Structure 1
């Protein structure tokens, strides 16, 4: 038999094959292990992402549910506040005539940095360093003494200038303080005279005092109206008045808000109509009783035996559709019976109807009127022609605060403004005015006519509903134009609505400017402060009046530029930004024949500006299908500060398909003069395309 050899080339080859196979198997196992590890990590990543997604969804849902709860709680708090109006208001302090007095306190003289003397140079710092002998040392000493003498003279001159400025500022302060103190004393003397008339039973003084008591009461929320007309029947010792009640919209229409995950939205749950009507009716009764409480509580002199109150709202009469004064409550209350009430625990509706046998509308939400009692203008004894609230605070220049002014006085101020503008204007009677506060007539031929004016002394943005109501009044009365004047501002919806209609909106800022232009006074907000060092005089300005043919509604705007690029977003003047930060360019009310106007102080424009671009554009929300083909016979009137026309500038007509157009630009020349260069570049992308072309980013 033969013996098999375990050595040799074949055995070596076989061993190599086995080792190679083992290496391949190890590599396959390693790859499989690596793949399993990757799959494990991928599954862990996916589980983590799913967990994070669930957490985000849960957090988002919690946020939406919290927002729904917050809004529901706000609605509940609002309803609770309305339901507790009488109980809360009855705890307010009683009004007294002393509250009308102004303390004789002025802000102290505060010159600031002008009060600190300037430091004088220290001679020790000017001693020359001993570093030489003889002539060189003497020269160094002389130079040091010369520097000291120069610096000392400069410091003494600066100190003398400071003392001069301080003395001048002190004289300004003393004059201001004397004027303020004299005005305060005149005001307090008038208050004392009113108090004497109240004690003597003077009908005018009594009506004025109790009107002031209602205006100044701290028992009423800021968003509830305070319009009163009063007269005093001295023989019956009775105050007769009309008092404005809140409208139906004061009660929230929404009862609750809840989050709907399936639709991912917040849904309002409507308040039942019967519940909302009951809440509103109870609120009206509370308002009547709270007004009676304020009046009786303010009667420290015992002038009132009874009060006859008629509560009204200014709204559309359902029968005629016209603006009208609709009476929703009427009551006569004696003092003895009222003092016996527990205002915190009673039911306002039951008290008004059952105790005082008053009249309360059964359907006030539908403006179902009640028969009013005696009205102020029916009182036989002489009554104040208009109740006067506490005089509006004035600042150091005698400017009355329009926010603090009596509403009737404010209406008369607006009427005076129209008269100062060359029109005939009177305030309307307080009853049956149809929602019109001032009737005006512009006697100018062709463009003149009758004007109805509504006045809103608001602090918050006027709602578009007020503008629409004014338009309805214009249509019903057949007036040529309607003007809405406010102490606040108007939103985009209001500006959009008036486009192409015979309406004009005057904001608080524009009102103050018009008052000052026509020699009248008024300011917005507090202003009791000492004078500051004199400011530079207001630069001269021009008015650019833009007119065009056609009925298309347009926005006229201005861009303060360097070259072709606007200086910044706030230097783009249009209806949503009516003026630049420095006031050198501002949109102002236009006067016929102009349809838009801008006030420009060319000499005061920023030094970086070398161009003022004027443009116009279609408002797509008002004229979505219009273009500038109707913009024809356009021109710009250049007026001086007094309104005198200085020249006319021609501009290009609009073209079909274009929705924005550069009218032209004023360009600053080397000598400082401004020349007008006619424009004509049109844009099919509207105002957005025009302002983007001038460097404004549009999101």
Structure 2
């Protein structure tokens, strides 16, 4: 018995020791896993920090490279301009070759049902299908004939317009050969405007006159302001402060580069004029280069001459422009004048000016731009048609009656992206309603056109952009129209004083910044689906106004309290919010996501998984993560969640999850955005 008891005690002891060893081993394993997890989290944190730093450093390098490329382009302006082809009268001619008739889907006959596919006893169904096919074919033939008639009318009108234009060009050539002063001024003004040598952001304003006796063209030509030279030399990311630090370009370097740019512009303008002279109209050129700025002495705006030169054709022909030092060439070889301190608007004495010629002074650009609001409606439509022609398309105005809601018809000859374009023109002062966009879409479908364009002097609301998203529609606001006109040598402004052509933002007025602190809502998700992340500032379930819907065509609210921003490397989209600066009557900020139809037109939200919102403070420090629901098949828009204002003034996040099969358009309708 004692032996049995002793053996039992030994077994019990061994079991306790085994359990202790197991517990110790499990504890060691837990500690090992915990250490491994901590090392993994630390590694991931290091990788995130490294990736963030690399991204910020890459952005700083990109900005520096852009600055260096800008300076290199300014330094090589004259050499690049000399490689540009010379302007000729042949460049003004328009081809009489029109895009051939393309019936599109109307060119395919309706197939007749195959009797062999109908079984026994299906004779009646076969007869019905045959009759339906014949009716559809008759309708196709009628539509094809109508479409062909429209094309023939358009082609005849276009061809007549082109031939009339080319005939006028022939008259211009004859006038140039005869030394007509008006023709000479118009032709060489066009040569300066049409040249490919000028950067897009350089000004285009000229006043010119021609002296037939001396065969001299006298002109005032606008030069770029000192802001054309980047004030920043380089950008460097400082990781300790987590900010980009800019190194200023020395003032002496800015001045020297600006003087060089002015000299290059003067020489290049003279080169463009002599190179375009096919008829020996120019024996010499007298050019005054000016900037349109405020006179430092009076504070009033005026044309300040910073460079002036008078040069003969023979003297200019002896130069090898691509190899010269522009400043020395202008001031020494040609005896011209160049301001020693152009950045301080120190003027030089102008040479002969257009007004000294005595007659035939013509100005282009600057303050004589017509007000689009006051323009005759037919002239406005003609200007829009001319814009389409300037973009390489064939465009004609429609008849005033029975135009079916079409103001201009254009034909884009591009074999891939081209086709028939329906253009509607709305000279409005208020926002164009979404119903006008929907009506245009109906017109495009009824006419069988490839695309519809709505041009207005005002603007569009989010409802219009939401409806046009994913459809063959382009919306051109007034500001975009003025920019396009200027880019193609046409003139127009939106009210205001003479020559007003820029928006307040373009004129340098800063956007309002919300007061107080802000947060950044960084959005991330798994899956390769491309999404637009948007925000609605609401009271209850209704958005405060169309302007309080922040999305791709409205990146900020009027007060700037909510705005889209560039995401960090860890996120795919981001929205910045100053909760304390939201409107007093707002009690909800709703976040939504929708499929981007331009990138994934056939996708749904089934690939929208593992999504979260990373809440950060103004310094970028993460405050927490907010989980949101996954997407579901068949849905193309989703309410991610909403921040709701509580009675104490705090904002709590409430997860969403409601999906919409109709995309962003149907979602925003629920919140009061007018789409249809």
* TM-score tier (shorter): 0.5 to 0.7
**Superposed counterparts of 1:219-258, under 5 Å:** 219-258=197-236
Q: Cα gap change, 1:545/1:384 in structure 2, threshold over 3 Å: closer, same or farther? A: closer
8 Å contact 1:310–1:375 — kept in the other structure?
yes
Aligned counterpart in structure 2 of residue 378 of structure 1, from 350, 356, 373: 356
Q: Distance in 1 between matches of 2:669 and 2:192?
A: 56
Q: Cα gap change, 1:148/1:530 in structure 2, threshold over 3 Å: closer, same or farther? A: farther
Cross-structure match for 1:479: none
C-alpha offsets along residues 202-248 of structure 1, whole Å, 9 cap, x if unaligned?
Answer: 11111111111111111112111222221111111111011111111
SS at 2:321 equivalent: coil
Cross-structure match for 1:100: 92
8 Å contact 1:100–1:191 — kept in the other structure?
yes
Q: Distance in 2 between matches of 1:225 and 1:105?
A: 34
SS at 1:331 equivalent: strand
Q: Distance in 1 between matches of 2:210 and 2:427?
A: 50
Aligned counterpart in structure 1 of residue 38 of structure 2, from 43, 46, 53: 46
Q: 1:330 deviation in Å? A: 0.9
Cross-structure match for 1:309: 287
Q: 1:620 deviation in Å? A: 9.6
Cross-structure match for 1:70: 62
C-alpha offsets along residues 182-220 of structure 1, whole Å, 9 cap, x if unaligned?
Answer: 111111111111111111111111111111111111111
Q: Cα gap change, 1:22/1:413 in structure 2, threshold over 3 Å: closer, same or farther? A: closer
Alignment of 1:522 onto 2:384: yes
Give ranges in structure 1 of 5+ residues lacking alignment. Answer: 1-7, 130-139, 388-406, 421-514, 547-555, 561-573, 592-611, 625-656, 662-683, 686-690
Q: 1:254 deviation in Å? A: 1.0
Q: Distance in 1 between matches of 2:427 and 2:179?
A: 54
C-alpha offsets along residues 654-689 of structure 1, whole Å, 9 cap, x if unaligned?
Answer: xxx97689xxxxxxxxxxxxxxxxxxxxxx99xxxx
Q: Cα gap change, 1:151/1:318 in structure 2, threshold over 3 Å: closer, same or farther? A: same
Q: Cα gap change, 1:88/1:60 in structure 2, threshold over 3 Å: closer, same or farther? A: same
8 Å contact 1:331–1:359 — kept in the other structure?
yes
Q: Distance in 1 between matches of 2:303 and 2:427?
A: 41
Q: Distance in 2 between matches of 1:153 and 1:617?
A: 53
Q: Distance in 2 between matches of 1:543 and 1:81?
A: 39
Q: Distance in 1 between matches of 2:145 and 2:4?
A: 117
C-alpha offsets along residues 474-529 of structure 1, whole Å, 9 cap, x if unaligned?
Answer: xxxxxxxxxxxxxxxxxxxxxxxxxxxxxxxxxxxxxxxxx469876435554835
**Superposed counterparts of 1:82-481, under 5 Å:** 82-121=74-113, 129=120, 144=123, 152-380=130-358, 382-383=359-360, 385-386=362-363, 407=365, 411=368, 413-414=370-371, 418=374
8 Å contact 1:617–1:660 — kept in the other structure?
no
What is the count of residue pairs matched by the alignment?
A: 458
> Which stretch of structure 1 is more off in the superposition, 44-53 or 229-238?
44-53
8 Å contact 2:462–2:546 — kept in the other structure?
no
8 Å contact 1:94–1:298 — kept in the other structure?
yes
Q: 1:83 deviation in Å? A: 0.4
Q: 1:171 deviation in Å? A: 2.1
Aligned counterpart in structure 2 of residue 55 of structure 1, from 44, 47, 60: 47
8 Å contact 1:361–1:370 — kept in the other structure?
yes
Q: 1:249 deviation in Å? A: 1.3
Q: Distance in 1 between matches of 2:559 and 2:8?
A: 90
Give ranges in structure 2 of 5+ residues lacking alignment. Answer: 408-425, 436-457, 469-474, 480-493, 496-541, 549-555, 562-582, 588-646, 650-666
Q: Distance in 2 between matches of 1:517 and 1:412?
A: 14
Q: Distance in 2 between matches of 1:517 and 1:95?
A: 28
Q: Distance in 1 between matches of 2:335 and 2:167?
A: 42
Cross-structure match for 1:467: none
Q: Cα gap change, 1:193/1:212 in structure 2, threshold over 3 Å: closer, same or farther? A: same
Q: 1:282 deviation in Å? A: 0.7
Q: 1:302 deviation in Å? A: 1.6
- Please tell me whether Structure 1 or Structure 2 has the larger radius of gyration of its CA atoms: 1
Relative to the length of structure 1, the TM-score reads 0.57
8 Å contact 2:288–2:351 — kept in the other structure?
yes
Q: Cα gap change, 1:125/1:519 in structure 2, threshold over 3 Å: closer, same or farther? A: closer
C-alpha offsets along residues 313-358 of structure 1, whole Å, 9 cap, x if unaligned?
Answer: 1112222222221111111111111111121221111111111221
**Coordinate RMSD, CA, aligned:** 4.6
Q: Cα gap change, 1:186/1:544 in structure 2, threshold over 3 Å: closer, same or farther? A: closer
C-alpha offsets along residues 251-307 of structure 1, whole Å, 9 cap, x if unaligned?
Answer: 111110111010111111111111111111110110000101111111122211111
Q: Distance in 2 between matches of 1:587 and 1:116?
A: 37
Cross-structure match for 1:505: none
8 Å contact 1:616–1:660 — kept in the other structure?
no
8 Å contact 2:434–2:463 — kept in the other structure?
no
8 Å contact 2:459–2:478 — kept in the other structure?
no
Q: Cα gap change, 1:117/1:617 in structure 2, threshold over 3 Å: closer, same or farther? A: closer
Cross-structure match for 2:461: 577
Q: Distance in 2 between matches of 1:383 and 1:544?
A: 37
8 Å contact 2:233–2:248 — kept in the other structure?
yes
8 Å contact 2:87–2:272 — kept in the other structure?
yes
Q: Distance in 2 between matches of 1:93 and 1:588?
A: 33
C-alpha offsets along residues 30-67 of structure 1, whole Å, 9 cap, x if unaligned?
Answer: 43333333333333333333333333322322222222
Q: Cα gap change, 1:30/1:153 in structure 2, threshold over 3 Å: closer, same or farther? A: closer
C-alpha offsets along residues 603-627 of structure 1, whole Å, 9 cap, x if unaligned?
Answer: xxxxxxxxx9997999997799xxx
8 Å contact 2:463–2:546 — kept in the other structure?
no
Q: Cα gap change, 1:365/1:108 in structure 2, threshold over 3 Å: closer, same or farther? A: same
Q: Distance in 1 between matches of 2:8 and 2:228?
A: 97
Q: Distance in 2 between matches of 1:532 and 1:149?
A: 46
Q: Cα gap change, 1:44/1:521 in structure 2, threshold over 3 Å: closer, same or farther? A: closer
Q: Distance in 1 between matches of 2:189 and 2:543?
A: 52
Q: Cα gap change, 1:276/1:27 in structure 2, threshold over 3 Å: closer, same or farther? A: same
Q: Distance in 1 between matches of 2:42 and 2:369?
A: 69
> Which stretch of structure 1 is more off in the superposition, 93-102 or 525-534?
525-534
